[in-house]
A and B are shown apart, each in its own frame.
Chain A
């Protein structure tokens, strides 16, 4: 029995006029498209860098999750904060993290937000309202709830967004975070990127309910299931949830259904995922869907599309060059910054 509401599809049928009512004009829509293209292009370049031996450790991507990540991030306000994870490159891009700094982070260079101290997407620019993830999933959910708690105590109209995957929904942090958020009606939006595979574990071995969003009812707030390959549907639901939280009406759990289109990380060929599943979901590739919609509903011409893609490509090529120029960290920096000094509290959040 499904308890959660299933969102109406946006991408294929919705008209430009409706989308404008949701708060997006044509410029915004092209911005979303550009952010999705940048997200995918950046991760594709990451693959190349990894094969060239320029990225140490491992490499994770969010291929297939671009719409979910960009859609939610677009719905956030400038003063809102979030805790994006390793499938949410689109959040960093949408919030304005420069691609060259992300690539520098992957390569362990000093200009990555983590300055070589942590790798891949374990990074964040706090000036853009982002908080760096840890590997222990979903440890960032209680942290997001804590951000929302601060906003509630100070009576600020700000919202925190916490991401997790369907895999980490099995851990207690999910429960404790949602329970506290529900009890205190905190301004937080929980986004579950359900990409159907927790490393090699399929959903039927992860949870025994139809939709994870259905669990929201147990915490006293609304759950909604949305097609995570449909950026407009994701945006629409995220916007509702963010504004609801902002108005003091409590949390929402949004479950974005996608398929992880690559292995858990670059070393994993995902042999355990049925080929037909990949084929089926490839047919609803988030980028292709949105491109088709823009052509049909927003008068995106082939020429304009080509120009946009070329621009993104050029931007990423420059980013790559700049990232490669970034120096490796000085070994002396290893022991720096274990402890904060009072001056470190001079951040936008500690005023």
Chain B
């Protein structure tokens, strides 16, 4: 099986779907001639033409609102926010229009919104955020956060196929850092099914996106502790059963995310574990997340913001010794 980067995997998935299904088109800023700010869609406009790879004006509202209208007319738009942070400008169209349309009006809105998210490269407060938790609170949306190249491809396919608005959070820090085997043929990865990234016995880490790799590094450093890493892959819907099964097995759990602490999706997971698996726990559920500040610019500050391998090692150690 060929080895691909996370970025190539997304690109491959998009290209395959566009070749397969004429209804799929892309719309976003600088995605055509330039190939996207991160080059995910490099060469797409040459292959599919300017009406299927649409360079939009700087208009997040019109991009997402337009994608919604096109989806209502039977298209399968894949819209891109150049950075996930800019989705704030399109909030209304996702939350007010797209998310509620099926429930109140009966009309499905099959859009995929690609959101390059996450920090780790001094992008500062407006190019580094992980806004997935905000959208995980919105009934009608789906939020997908792949951690591996194989999932990135399989989940972009599922997102496009899904009859609902799907937010696809692709972590920028993984784009070229993470490589893995990715099948050439078309496949889809179901939304809402977690995967066990690392099987273990002593303690569970529940996480998603780039933090899966941080957790893995932490687990490698703890040679005397058997860590199980549950990669949620999507947080709306999220795989409660997989999390509860792992927690019941290990009896201790760390919930880890790169987004800020208060009201982060980790709180929902921890609360569910406390409600559903309290009797199986040998320690209180622990959360590690970014502090409640905007994402900082200076590398020293950013390192203090994003949960580091050492933080996870310390957290796991604390749980094991509880």
Contact = CB atoms under 8 A, between A and B. Distances in A.
B72 A344 contact: no
B106 interface: yes
A136 B96 contact: yes
Contact of A183 (B57, B100, B108): B57
Contacts of A345: 108, 110, 163
A117 B140 CA distance: 14
A160 interface: yes
A142 B69 contact: yes
A179 B59 contact: yes
A15 to B, nearest CB: 39
A231 interface: no
Contacts of B270: none
Which of A148, A338, A340, A345 gathers most chain B CB within 10 Å? A340
Contacts of A141: 65
Interface stretch (A37-45, A121-129, A251-259, A290-298): A121-129
B57 A146 contact: no
A137 to B, nearest CB: 11
Nearest to A131: B72
Interface residues of B, number: 43
B208 interface: no
Contacts of B92: 136, 139, 173
Interface string B119-157: 000000000000000000001101000000000000000
A340 B52 contact: no
A349 interface: yes
Given A145-B66, A338-B140, A340-B164, A349 B61 contact: no
A240 to B, nearest CB: 23
Given A132-B101, A180-B57, A180-B62, A149 B74 contact: no
A134 interface: yes
Contact of B65 (A173, A338, A339): A173
A143 B90 CA distance: 12
Contacts of B54: 149, 184
Contacts of B72: 126, 131, 143, 146-147, 349
A180 B140 contact: no
Interface residues of A, number: 51
Interface stretch (A18-26, A150-158, A305-313, A323-331): A150-158
B70 interface: yes
A187 B105 CA distance: 24
B69 A148 contact: yes
A144 interface: yes
B299 to A, nearest CB: 35
Contact of A147 (B52, B73, B101): B73
B105 A179 contact: no
B62 A179 contact: yes
B20 interface: no
Interface in A93-151: 113-115, 117-118, 122-124, 126, 131-132, 134, 136, 139-151
A155 B97 CA distance: 26
Interface string B250-269: 00000000000000000000
Contacts of B93: 139, 142-143
Which of B51, B71, B104, B164 gathers most chain A CB within 10 Å? B104
Contacts of A337: 102-103, 106
Interface of A: 81, 113-115, 117-118, 122-124, 126, 131-132, 134, 136, 139-154, 160, 172-173, 176-177, 179-180, 183-184, 337-342, 344-345, 347, 349-351
Given A81-B73, A148-B69, A160-B69, 11 more contacts: A131-B72, A134-B96, A136-B92, A139-B96, A142-B61, A143-B72, A145-B69, A150-B70, A177-B62, A345-B108, A345-B110
Interface of B: 25, 27, 51-52, 54, 56-57, 59, 61-62, 64-75, 77, 92-93, 96-97, 100-110, 139-140, 142, 163-164
* Cβ-closest 5 pairs across A and B: A146-B69, A142-B65, A340-B108, A146-B66, A150-B73
